[in-house]
């Protein structure tokens, strides 16, 4: 089982925060300083040049940045050795429903776990929010294809089918 971490800057409502819900359910550990993020983690980063793929399944952990990307110092995370962007997926969260690539943190973790072969765990994480199962319904076809891909190059080719 891949350990999950989230850097959280407290910029969102803690009652609605999907990372806080995942923490309460025991699915992840919250990190309060960027310097505390494990250096060998796979960092989910939408600005990364490489897409997450099943080839990444042997990572030691996954970390998401649960913060405003508008104010994030991207220089602080650009030095991470393993940075991956998620491929094209549609949001199912109430704030961004139907918007491409506007995933909540729980959706991002679930997508990463699904692509890396931990489908049941992805569903468990999504079970922390009332609308979670909808994410898998909306993205069933692309997630299945991404999970069968060999590498990042193949993910990008598959993603083109949905753009």
pLDDT digits (tens, 9 = 90+) for 39-95: 889 999 888 899 999 999 999 999 998 865 555 555 556 667 799 999 999 999 998
pLDDT at 133 over 90: yes
Domain residue ranges of the chain, discontinuous segments joined by +? 4-160
Concatenated DSSP letters for 70-94?
TT--GGGTTT-SEEEB--S-B--ST
Judged by average pLDDT, the poorest of 6-10, 61-65, 110-114 is: 6-10
List of residues 6+ apart from 97 with CB closer than 8 A: 91
The pTM (predicted TM-score) of the whole model is 0.91
pLDDT of 36 higher than 80: yes
What was the pLDDT predicted at 62? 96
Task: Please give the Cα distance from 103 to 132 (Å, whole number).
Answer: 11
DSSP helix/strand/coil, 4: strand
> pLDDT class for 125, splitting at 50, 70, 90?
very high
SS3 of the chain: helix, strand, coil, percent, to 5: 35, 15, 50
Query: How far from 77 is each of 37, 45, 87, 131, 145, CA to CA, in Å?
Result: 10, 9, 19, 30, 29
The residues, ordered by sequence, that sit 6+ positions from 57 with a Cβ below 8 Å of its Cβ are 116, 117
Phi, psi dihedrals of residue 121, rounded to the nearest 5°: -65, -35
Strand partners, 4: 62
Q: What is the pLDDT of residue 72?
A: 52
Answer whether residue 32 shows pLDDT above 80. yes
What is the pLDDT at residue 153? 97
Specify whether the CB–CB gap between 64 and 77 falls below 8 A.
no
Is residue 121 predicted with pLDDT exceeding 60? Answer: yes
Query: What distance in Å separates the CA atoms of residue 27 and residue 80, rounded to the nearest whole number?
Result: 23
SS3 156: helix
């Amino acid at each position: 089982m891949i350990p999950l971490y989230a850097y959280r800057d407290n910029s969102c409502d803690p009652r609605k925060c999907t990372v806080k819900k995942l923490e309460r359910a025991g699915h992840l550990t919250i990190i309060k300083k960027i310097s505390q993020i494990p250096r060998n983690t796979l960092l989910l980063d939408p600005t990364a040049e490489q897409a997450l793929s099943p080839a990444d399944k042997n990572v030691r952990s996954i970390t998401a940045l649960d913060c405003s990307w508008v104010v994030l110092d991207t220089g602080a995370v650009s030095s991470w050795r393993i940075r991956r962007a998620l491929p094209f997926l549609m949001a199912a969260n109430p704030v961004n429903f139907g918007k491409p690539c506007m995933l909540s943190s729980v959706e991002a973790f679930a997508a990463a776990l699904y692509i890396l072969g931990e489908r049941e765990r992805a569903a468990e994480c999504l079970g922390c929010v009332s609308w979670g199962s909808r994410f898998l319904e909306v993205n069933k076809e692309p997630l299945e294809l991404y999970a069968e891909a060999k590498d990042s190059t193949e993910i990008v080719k598959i993603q083109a089918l949905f753009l």
